[in-house]
């Protein structure tokens, strides 16, 4: 039986200028257009006009609850994610919002999906909210084993499936697109190895700032790399990068920042190494088989390293910097080969999440909407 075009409503952290979440939405939209080009995609956003113009979707204000209720009733499937939405690390209010959208779908008798999310951390009340609002969800797929274990403990009747972050399904830019981006950023004339460093403000950043600056200097002065500081979320990441530069004896470059997924992929793809606090910069490095040193400010970064079985130590407080930097620099060919072998299974898992969502949508559109 053929299915009619579907209406999908997406709930996530969109319209706030966060690189990772915007990259997730970019991949979701592009992948879905390839699969089902006639479907109507509606996104809840903090800046609906900007989201609509950027992604070619219908977008609605995320905090107008009556509008959300109407959009849920007009949809065939409600999709929560990707990203880290069901957690209380940000705030209990945030969790109540995202769980509320799922509950609204169930109240309206609309299928709902937890899509490629990272789950947790959740405090006691947060666990009760997830347990009660998501107990009848039609699809639950998560991006790492820790999230799967937590969600299975809360939703024992739900078939919780292991997927991967949607950005792992991103298309990497070709040589021509890379050259255009590098020329725009003034990087075409860089000689030798280029190393991208991506930092952000977080509690661990202040503790690690001296070590990050020392690592930049070691890579620049001893290994003759051109270090570039790449802000993803402007102006916050640019401010963090400036703190690093002020402590450096070398002269790293500070890029303008504010990049979309293709631009960052072009920059990272031209690098010989990456040092990053940002999860999705590490994911792009893995896709490009560019060796990286992770700075794990959040458990999701450790989860990625575990998913990749990545053999390079992270930069954490107490790290012996000389051993870390020299060992990493000398092992880059082996690390690149490891990433080239370890990343394709995660890419397959990321695409599998779209297969599962497509199956749900096609089941929902075989019969008239209630």
CATH number of the domain within which 95 lies = 3.40.50.720
| CA-based torsion, 281, 282, 288, 291: positive or negative | positive
Residue 180 and residue 159 in one domain: no
Helix axes 65-74, 92-107, angle to 10 degrees: 40
Q: In terms of DSSP H, where are the helices of the chain?
A: 19-35, 48-55, 65-74, 92-107, 124-133, 145-154, 175-184, 203-217, 236-247, 261-269, 279-287, 299-308, 321-330, 332-364
Burial code of 159-193, b = ≥16 C-beta within 10 A, e = fewer? Answer: ebbbbbbbbbbbeebeeeebeebbeebebeebeeb
Residue 52 and residue 126 in one domain: yes
Number of compact structural domains in the chain:
2
Among 163, 186, 217, residue at a domain's last position: 163
CA–CA separation, 209 and 215 (whole Å) = 10
Model confidence band, residue 367 (pLDDT cutoffs 50, 70, 90): low
In a domain, 75, yes or no: yes
Q: What is the pLDDT of residues 332-350, one digit of tens each?
A: 999 999 999 999 999 999 9
Look at residue 369 and tell me whether its pLDDT is greater than 90.
no
pTM, full prediction? 0.95
CATH of the domain at 216: 3.40.50.2000
CA–CA separation, 112 and 90 (whole Å) = 23
Residue 114 and residue 229 in one domain: no
Residue 198 and residue 101 in one domain: no
Q: What is the pLDDT of residues 22-50, one digit of tens each?
A: 999 999 999 999 999 999 999 999 999 99
Domain that holds residue 320: 175-343
In a domain, 361, yes or no: no
Percent of the chain with pLDDT over 90: 92
CA–CA separation, 72 and 10 (whole Å) = 10
Residue 50: count other Cβ atoms within 10 Å of its Cβ: 14
Say which residues have a Cβ less than 8 Å from residue 354's Cβ, sequence separation at least 6. Answer: 31, 32, 35, 166, 169
Q: What is the pLDDT of residues 285-306, one digit of tens each?
A: 999 999 999 999 999 999 999 9
Cis peptide before 165 (omega within 30 of 0): no
Residue 104 and residue 242 in one domain: no
């Amino acid at each position: 039986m053929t299915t009619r075009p579907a209406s999908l409503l997406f709930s996530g952290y969109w319209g706030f200028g966060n690189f990772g979440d915007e990259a997730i939405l970019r991949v979701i939209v592009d992948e879905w257009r390839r699969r089902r080009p006639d479907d109507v995609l509606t996104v809840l956003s903090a800046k609906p006009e900007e989201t609509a113009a950027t992604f070619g979707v219908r977008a609605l204000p995320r905090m107008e609850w009556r509008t959300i209720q109407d959009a849920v009733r007009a949809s065939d499937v409600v999709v929560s994610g990707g990203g880290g939405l069901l957690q209380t690390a940000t705030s209990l209010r945030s969790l109540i919002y995202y769980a509320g959208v799922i509950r609204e779908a169930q109240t309206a008798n609309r299928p709902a999906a937890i899509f490629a999310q990272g789950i947790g951390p959740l405090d006691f009340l947060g666990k009760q909210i997830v347990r009660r609002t998501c107990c009848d969800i039609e699809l639950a797929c998560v991006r790492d084993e820790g999230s799967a274990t937590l969600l299975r403990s809360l939703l024992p009747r739900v078939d919780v499936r292991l997927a991967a972050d949607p950005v792992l399904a991103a298309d990497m830019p070709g040589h021509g697109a890379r050259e255009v981006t590098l020329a725009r950023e003034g990087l075409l004339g860089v000689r030798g190895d280029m190393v991208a460093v991506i930092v952000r403000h977080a509690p661990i950043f202040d503790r690690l700032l001296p070590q990050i600056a020392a690592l930049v200097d070691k890579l620049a002065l001893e290994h003759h790399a051109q270090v570039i500081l790449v802000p993803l979320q402007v102006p916050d990441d640019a401010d963090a990068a400036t703190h690093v530069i002020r402590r450096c004896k070398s002269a790293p470059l500070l890029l303008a920042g504010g990049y979309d997924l293709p631009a960052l992929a072009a920059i990272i793809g031209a690098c010989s190494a990456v040092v990053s606090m940002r999860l999705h910069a590490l994911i792009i490095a893995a896709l490009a088989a560019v060796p990286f040193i992770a700075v794990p400010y959040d458990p999701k970064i450790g989860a990625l390293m575990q998913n990749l079985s990545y053999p390079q130590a992270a930069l954490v407080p107490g790290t012996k910097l000389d051993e870390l930097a020299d060992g990493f620099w000398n092992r880059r060919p082996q690390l690149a080969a490891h990433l080239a072998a370890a990343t394709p299974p995660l890419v397959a898992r990321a695409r599998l999440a779209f297969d599962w969502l497509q199956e749900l949508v096609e089941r929902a559109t075989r019969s008239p909407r209630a």
